[in-house]
Amino acid sequence: MIRLENVTKLYSRRGETVTAFQCEEMRIATGEYVAIVGPSGSGKSTLLSLLGGMLSPTTGKIWLGEKSIYDLSAANRSALRSEMMGFVFQTFNLVPYLTALQNVQVPLCLLNRPADEQHTRAAELLRRFGLGDRLQHRPSELSIGQQQRVALSRTLVNDPQLVLADEPTGNLDPQSRETVLDAFDAAHREGRTIVMVTHDPVAASRATRVLTLRDGRLTQSEVDELASTHPIRRTA
């Protein structure tokens, strides 16, 4: 589903060129659940932005299926994100003056879906995540864990083929973390491709493949090491 070919992302800092990310080749198959781990500043968020069509590489090509993302116009790249991708952020990015229901409806509104379809689909997902009694609550009226579940509902509402998650469990208590990770497991079983950046070894251990970034370079998977300290849960 995803293919990187000779991709680099360079920045100029104080007159020096800094390599934020470098990869000769990387492939992520349709339906894979991949965790990206590594120390702060290693290039994890840069990689996620490159995959999401939000940060143009300095060199190389990034393919989503048969489409070279950065050969598309900005408008077509935006349409591709709306139609095929869902994003989960550590900071949630909920609109503070909208209700939980309205926040989840936003992606469908941008796709010009009928109002009744927006309402039905958004309410269905919120109920699925145990928020059926919070549809009309604004973010400030929800706990941190509830806000993340609203954000996750918004991610899944347009039925994305690819889910990109940036530290989705970083601010959560253990119970909320488990709810979110169970949702990722379910999305994976449904055939979605998931790429998750995380510092959390428990979250990483739920993936089927773990890649490590150090100094902007991908290294060998650490899945065996993670499994030894956090047994990997697999569901049929």
Angle of CA points 221, 23, 197, to nearest 5° = 50
**Cα gap 94→174, rounded to integer Å:** 22
Task: Summarize the confidence of residues 207-211 as an average pLDDT.
Answer: 93
> Taking all residues of the chain, what is their mean pLDDT, rounded to a whole number?
88
Domains of the chain: which residue ranges? 29-56+73-229
Q: pLDDT tens digit string along 59-112?
A: 999 999 999 999 999 999 998 988 899 998 878 889 999 999 999 999 999 888
> What kind of architecture, by CATH, is found in domain 29-56+73-229?
3-Layer(aba) Sandwich (3.40)
pTM of the model: 0.85
Q: pLDDT per residue over 165-199, tens digit each?
A: 998 888 788 888 898 899 899 999 999 999 999 98
Confidence of residue 220 (pLDDT cuts 50, 70, 90): low
pLDDT at 230 over 80: no
The SS3 of residue 61 is strand
Alpha-carbon distance of 207 to 215, in angstroms, equals 22
Distance CA 99, CA 131 (A): 12
Question: For position 227, what pLDDT does the model report?
Answer: 43
Residue 228: its pLDDT value, please? 44
| Segment 33-37 mean pLDDT | 94
Tell me which amino acid residue 180 is. V
Q: Residues with Cβ < 8 Å from 165, sequence gap 6 or more?
A: 87, 88, 89, 184, 194, 195, 196, 197, 198
